[in-house]
Structure 1
Amino acid sequence: MSTLTVQGVSVSIQQQKILESISFQLEPGSITALVGHNGAGKSTIMKTILGLQEKKEGVIKLKDTFQKEDFVRFKQQLAYIPEEPFLLSELTVMQHFQLYGESYQMDKGKLYQKIAHYLNELEIADKQNEYPESLSKGMRQKVQTICAMLPDVPLLLIDEPFMGLDIYASDFLQQVMKEKVQNGTAILLTSHQLERMKDLADQYIMLQQGKVVGSGYMQDFEILKRRFE
């Protein structure tokens, strides 16, 4: 069974068609790069899968759960790292992690073990009682990244995963992503860092003006890329 099925999804905003009949599948234990120029529709696909953007037509299914039929169960099976960190000003760093743990009904022992590990590896253990407004953008991105990495879910969506992260944090995130894939998670990500994407992703989906214009194995991406340059 595919982890994610997107079938015939179209999105229009103020009468303008943003996505047109998008279809693809993600298999368990795979990393798929969503590539294309600015405005191609990459972030819109992410937001549509998340339910933040309403679709005009089409079907989105996560394992055996249809987005439209059981949205709560659908959302509990995915995690998301946005391009810009979105943190709640009234919660401390630790309270964000605790909120995620409760939202995904995580075992508390496992939750705090993961929190301690990620805080240590990303060198922000001294920030756990801070509020977002006192953190730099890079620190906020680390917090947002940890939040998404805490639950073990079938699907992980990542929009520009390395934005705002230092080299060490980027390398650590890449390592964690590979570990999650080994445990069966499917990852869909966008990034302008194509060299890192080529080392990381198994497959690609190429968008142009809201349409899928190509897909395949990542090693074949350079051939297709040259056709559209």
Structure 2
Amino acid sequence: MNDLDVLSVDNCDVYIRDHHILTDVSFRTLRGTITALVGHNGAGKSTLMKAIIGSQEKSAGRISVAGIDQDDQFSFYKPQFSYIPEEPLLMSELTVYQHFQLYQKSYNIPDDSFKQRVDQYTEAFELTDKLDEYPESLSKGMRQKAQTICALLPEVPLLLIDEPFMGLDVYAGAYLERLLADRKNDGTSILLTTHQLDKVRELADEFVMLKEGAVSSSGAVEQFHELDRRHT
């Protein structure tokens, strides 16, 4: 690992029951870059994301973020990233604002920074009047916006996003694109999955392509235009 590596995935295998889902997956993401994780449905993208966040057990391999090993130092590893899942994972007993407070406590966000970010993001995502609402009273799009804000509140080395624009309206999606560009410019490493190939070319600096659970190709996004016609 060099000083620019943020996420390091080395020789990772994942079995689910008797099925070999990921095979010898290795790649790096660099500080201040956006890496697109691409491939057909069933290629293993979501399983890889789950392995990185620690909700899916690996059968082999190592994963580290900012030099912190997932297996050896998980309590220090976990605060190094935040995650936006494809489907919102909100708790029914907490209001929108209480979800934000939970993230503040989990990532030790100072009060002043927390208030500024909550005000900024809730206004931009049009959630200001939903802070006291519970998830079941919100539309899926509103729940996705709340989940997105949760992940954006902490400043972390790595931001993981599974299908970032699913459920977001055009305006919210455009705002998220600007935020991702800002985070990248501030040095955050971003790994995202998306089926929107135009977004890969617009947003990403690098790509990693999975095919049948293995890395079939990777490199600068400029190389992706030719590859996507053959493989995706």
Q: Which residue of 2 aligns with 1:130?
A: 133
| TM-score using structure 2 length | 0.97
Aligned partners of 2:183, 2:225: CA distance in 1, in Å?
A: 26
| Displacement after TM superposition at 1:222 (Å) | 1.8
Q: Which runs of 5+ in 2 are unaligned?
A: none
Aligned partners of 2:41, 2:60: CA distance in 1, in Å?
A: 23
Q: Which residue of 1 aligns with 2:218?
A: 215
Aligned partners of 2:59, 2:44: CA distance in 1, in Å?
A: 15
Q: Secondary structure at the match of 1:225?
A: helix
Aligned partners of 1:186, 1:42: CA distance in 2, in Å?
A: 17
1:172-205 Cα shifts (integer Å, max 9, x gaps): 0111111111111100001111112210000100
| Residue number among 40, 61, 74 corresponding to 1:71 in the alignment | 74
Q: Secondary structure at the match of 1:23?
A: strand
Q: Secondary structure at the match of 2:102?
A: helix
| Residue number among 86, 90, 96 corresponding to 2:89 in the alignment | 86
| Residue number among 160, 163, 167 corresponding to 1:164 in the alignment | 167
| Residue number among 6, 17, 22 corresponding to 1:19 in the alignment | 22
Aligned partners of 2:145, 2:231: CA distance in 1, in Å?
A: 34
| Displacement after TM superposition at 1:224 (Å) | 1.5
| Displacement after TM superposition at 1:136 (Å) | 0.2
The one-letter amino acid paired with 2:97 is M
Most deviating of 219-228 and 134-143: 219-228
The alignment's C-alpha RMSD in Å is 0.8
- Equivalent pairs, count: 229
| Displacement after TM superposition at 1:226 (Å) | 2.5
Q: Secondary structure at the match of 1:151?
A: coil
For 1:1-229, list aligned pairs within 5 A: 1=3, 2-228=5-231
| Displacement after TM superposition at 1:18 (Å) | 0.1
Aligned partners of 2:132, 2:119: CA distance in 1, in Å?
A: 13
| Displacement after TM superposition at 1:227 (Å) | 2.9
